[in-house]
Amino acid sequence: MPKVIIYSTPTCTYCKMAKEFFRQNSVQYTEIDVAGNEKAQQEMISKSGQYGVPVIDIDGKIIVGFDKGAIKKALNLH
């Protein structure tokens, strides 16, 4: 199983959509809430160069936003 990390905030609609997609596809993930967590924000920005969420890290492949096609490809889902 790939290692999946999602950087998110509680109010992010696309983050919720991504997490629901993971649940529907039985993908285990670690969620890191970057709201008010400066260390997590810096980690996310250093990985992605982005300030917006979600940022999804699948085995080191960085996907910015809820890009279902890119997520499926990174997870080898069909």
pLDDT of residue 1: 82
In what helix (H) or strand (E) does residue 18 lie, and over which residues does it extend?
Answer: helix 13-24
Shortest CA distance to 58 belongs to which of 36, 35, 27? 27
DSSP secondary structure string, 65-76?
S--HHHHHHHHT
| Spatial contact of 2 and 58, defined as CB atoms under 8 Å apart | yes
Question: Tens digit of pLDDT for each residue in 9-34?
Answer: 999 999 999 999 999 999 999 999 99
pLDDT of residue 31: 98
Residue 35's pLDDT band, with cuts at 50, 70 and 90, is very high
In what helix (H) or strand (E) does residue 64 lie, and over which residues does it extend?
Answer: strand 61-64
Q: What CATH number does domain 4-75 carry, 3.60.21.10, 3.40.30.10, 3.40.50.1100, 3.40.50.720?
A: 3.40.30.10
pTM assigned to the model: 0.95
Residue 78 has pLDDT above 80, yes or no: no
